[in-house]
Amino acid sequence: MASASVQGVALVTGATSGIGLAVATRLAARGVSVFVCARSAESVGATVKTMREQGLTVDGTVADVRSDVAVRSLVEAARAAFGPLTIVVNNAGRSGGGPTATITDELWNDVIDTNLTGTFRVTREALTTGGLRDGGRIVNIASTGGKQGVPFGAPYSAAKGGVIAFTKALAKELAGTGTTVNAVCPGYVETPMAARVRQGYAALWKVPEEEVLARFEEKIPMGRYSTAEEVAGLVDYLTTDDAASITAQALNVCGGLGSY
């Protein structure tokens, strides 16, 4: 039996490539009105155009989740376009790391501000300005790295670990309203950010990028990266009525890389 849908309006951040784009496309194909954002106006415009050409109900605007003002404007624009929010997917994020002894305050603060505080800002605004009502769905894209740590990725691991803890705390806070809050934790997923991460490790380890890929795949029991569409499939399920009793969870999509 097909899953019943929590229909309405979804806000997806960082939605013009990778996991965010796959999520936005999947939700819109199910009949949800989707509002997307990213930091590039050109990318947002191209994404909205392409999805509309597919017959999907989509709109969007440029926004930077590091800015309170930008986040407020984003949520106001989403509500003006489609009405009160029923689904929020916090996907906007960045990589970042290196030897911890050499990490600058600027890098640390930006990774935390983007990945963790940005998730908080968008969620807070969705619950107030966005009118996210009882029975809504909040899905935060975290990482297996937030559970088990990533060598030379302390800022990223700390931020994603924070997203998981924030998810669990908010889920318990909102449990009585019927609004669920969950984290999806990808492992290695083939996205543009994954390519940048491999480039960074290649420079750090002084090896070709192909060797970095081989080392990473060797750690994954299934022997391959997950796809953005596989991650989007779990996000999609968590926003259906069938997932109404799933909350405060951090669920892996990782080919067996993480076991908790």
- Looking at residue 5, what is its pLDDT? 46
Active site residue 188: no
- Please indicate, yes or no, whether the overall pTM of this predicted structure exceeds 0.75: yes
pLDDT recorded at residue 3: 40
On whether the 9-188+227-253 domain is CATH 3.40.50.720, my answer is yes
Burial annotation 32-67 (CB, 10 A radius, 16+ → b, else e): bbbbbbbbeeebbeebbeebeeeebebbbbbbbbbe
Name residue, tokens 């050109």: 42
Pairing of strands 87-90, 250-253: unpaired
Selected catalytic residue, list 156, 188, 201, 225: 156
Per-residue pLDDT of the chain (260 residues; tens, 9 = 90+): 334 445 699 999 999 999 999 999 999 999 999 999 999 999 999 999 999 999 999 999 999 999 999 999 999 999 999 999 999 999 999 999 999 999 999 999 999 999 999 999 999 999 999 999 899 999 999 999 999 999 999 999 999 999 999 999 999 999 999 999 999 999 999 888 888 889 988 998 999 999 999 999 999 999 999 999 999 999 999 999 999 999 999 999 999 999 88
Give the pLDDT confidence score for residue 1 in this predicted structure. 32
> What local confidence, expressed as pLDDT, does residue 4 receive?
42
Rounded Cα distance, 25 and 248, in Å: 25
Domain boundaries defined on the chain: 9-188+227-253, 190-225
User: Which residues are CB-neighbours of 57 under 8 A, at least 6 positions away?
Assistant: 28, 31, 32, 33, 34, 82
Place of tokens 């930006």: 110
Express as a percent the part of the chain with pLDDT over 70: 97
